[in-house]
Amino acid sequence: METISEARAYEGVQGVYSHSSHTTGCDMTFAVYMPPQAKYGPVPCLWYLSGLTCTHENAMTKAGLQAHAAEFGLAIVFPDTSPRGDKVADDEAYDLGKGAGFYINATEKPWAPHFKMEDYIVKDLRALVQNAFEVLDSHGITGHSMGGHGALTLAMKYPELFRSLSAFAPIANPSQSDWGRKQFKAYLGDNEALWAANDASLLLKEAGWPSDILIDQGAGDQFLELLKPESLAAALAETRTPSTIRMQEGYDHSYYFVSTFGWDHVAWHAERLGA
């Protein structure tokens, strides 16, 4: 692991790091905020997965989560959204290729050699964070938009790795949305059974979730038709999963929305992670 930068923030440290990932076959950049409480021992860890076109930097600089993490004593990990580099496949469209990994393991050419974001998050980067930083084996996960999709699906697939789960405006039913069908077809091929295994609204019915879930969605979100929060709400009701879904009047899809409700999510995770 190489340190790119470190800065003092709210008496803790906001760092940016890079490492060579065997999983993605390229160098990856990520950010970690360590709160001041980490000076005295390991702290719980919250993962924040970002949305389409983002890198590690968007939430790190726009979401304002460091102040809340310092208040509650949580580390926050901000991964990148896709593999990067000259040898990594890409597409001219903003919603496919670099910046649009969808937190799944691609099986189709030309994506399969590098686009292994599911394994990267839950295996490669998790092991690195666990070994290199003062964090407990007590992890929660959240995310925004495509990252909300990733948070939901990864938590449901790996409940042994994540003790708490929330999302901001997640892509909730990607197999039935243009934010999903296009990418799933490219990355996974025509087998829609593979799509279903990466769709939170469908996966919840198959795998369930052992705890409760917090979802915030802007009622004024310009992408509501693509996000399909009603599908996730129906699945939560059908499976009788304890959940809080809040339609926030007037809020759109931007980081103004995320930052407004960031304290609520950090506090919610802190309670469940024992911070």
Is residue 221 flagged as an active site residue?
Answer: yes
Catalytic residue among 68, 144, 253, 269: 253
Catalytic residue among 145, 166, 175, 177: 145
Catalytic residue among 82, 221, 243, 269: 221
DSSP secondary structure, the chain, as one string? -EEEEEEEETTEEEEEEEEEETTTTEEEEEEEEE-GGGGGS-EEEEEEE--TT--THHHHHHS-HHHHHHHHT-EEEE--SS--STTS---SSTTSBTTB-TTSB--STTTTTT-BHHHIIIIIIHHHHHHHS-EEEEEEEEEBTHHHHHHHHHHHH-TTT-SEEEEES----GGGSTTTHHHHHHHH-S-HHHHHTT-HHHHHHHH--SS-EEEEEETT-TTHHHH-HHHHHHHHHHHT--EEEEEETT--SSHHHHHHHHHHHHHHHHHHHT-
Is residue 149 flagged as an active site residue?
Answer: no
Is residue 27 flagged as an active site residue?
Answer: no
Active site residue ranges: 145, 221, 253
